[in-house]
Amino acid sequence: MRSIKIMVAIMLLGLACNAEAWAAPRKNRDYYEARGEVVWEVPGKKKVIALTFDDGPDPKDTPYILDLLKQYHAKATFFVIGNKAGKHPNLLRREMEEGHEIANHTYTHHFFNRSFTAERIHNEIAKTQEIVYSVTGHKPSLFRPPGGMFDEAVLRVAKQEGLKTIMWSWHQDTRDWSRPGVGYIVNKVLKNVRNGDIILLHDYVSGQSQTVKALQKILPELNKLGYEFVTVSDLLSSAKNMVPSMK
């Protein structure tokens, strides 16, 4: 009789554990989006999209990209690396003066992994905040982790620094950093474009960039389709303004 009771207790314990595991939130995209902690895109009725550029500023490619954006009256968001921003303050100032948004992409662009302590994560983010502020007089409000790699610790530190974590639309990962061909980059954007997209591009890549030539085709085509190019913060604001009042 005692053995039966023990078996029943074990079974009940197992069911309880399974129920707890099932009830616990799975930390995938849906989990973070529901909590408003991470943004991948901002779908809506307005034909607006956000072009984002990572890994700069770069003295070679960033000026060409800024020239193109000006030509098509496009605003963009530059996720800058702190140590590069410190070396090229004039480019940082130009981005700000021409109406673009400057966001935080860490100081050294090391991928966050389990070896990173909270202090090291904080230093990567805080140093870039300080550099951007010292050059422009404004602190970034947005953050993108290198390689899109984050966990609870990264999000917690970003939030402590007053930063919103921004990813990109999965259907708009152009992989321009790998130089897949101008045609690939162009087709990736144009064939998948949707209202509220956050498009991932780079104003620095290792080797000969294909991003500038791709933009020469992407910008006029999206212009013809009636899309407006806005900063990520403007994209987020437009979504808030579209929420109907509960009064």
Q: Which residues are catalytically annotated?
A: 54, 202
Copy the structure tokens of residue 140: 């970034």
Between CA 108 and CA 127 the distance in angstroms is 10
State the helix-helix crossing angle for 118-136 and 152-160, rounded to 10 degrees: 40
For 217-242, b where at least 16 C-beta lie within 10 A, e where not — what string? bbbeebeeeebbbbbbbbbbebbeee
Which residue has 């904080």 as its token pair?
122
For 126-153, b where at least 16 C-beta lie within 10 A, e where not — what string? bbbbebbeebbeebbbbbbbbeeebeee
